Amino acid sequence: MDAWPVIRGLIEAFDTPERRVQLRRWLARADAAIRKLTPEGRISARIAVLRAHLDRLDADAANGQVWNERLSKLEAKRALLKGPLDARTRRAHNRKLAEDLESLWAEVFAAI
C-alpha cells in the first residue's frame, strides 16, 4: 500500500487552526514510529511525510519554497545513493542524509 495518499489526507484533514494541536500529536506519534524503522525506512518515511506536507503549503510562502528546494535536493541525493556504492560509503551518506532530513523535519513541523 502506498502511504502517500493516507499521509496527504491526514495532513489536509488537520488544516484548521483548532486541529493543528492534533496534527502535532499525530506527528509526534508518527515520529516515534518512524524512529523504529530501519535507516532506509526512516529516510523514505520522512521524505513521504515532508513531501505531502510541503505540497499542500502555499507555493508563494517563502519558507515553503525554501523547504521544497531543500527537500528536492535531499530527494536527488537519495536517488544518487541507489547507484553503485560500497556498503561503507552508502551507510555514511545515508547517515548524513538522515541527519539532514531530521533537521528539515524539525524545522518544518516547528512552524505548524
Alpha helices in the chain (DSSP H): 4-13, 20-34, 39-56, 62-81, 87-110
Query: Confidence class of residue 1 from pLDDT cuts 50, 70 and 90?
Result: very low
For the segment 38-62, what is each residue's pLDDT rounded down to a tens digit? 888 888 888 888 887 777 766 556 7
pLDDT at 36: 86
Question: Residue ranges of the domains in the chain?
Answer: 4-110
Could you tell me the pTM of the whole model? Answer: 0.68
Residue 38 carries which DSSP code? Answer: -
What is the number of alpha carbons within 13 Å of residue 48 lying toward its C-beta? 19
Judge whether residue 63 has pLDDT over 80: no
**What is the overall mean pLDDT for the chain?**
80
- Could you give the angle at the alpha carbon of 21 between the alpha carbons of 98 and 38, nearest 5°? 25
Rounded Cα–Cα distance for residues 49 and 32 (Å): 13
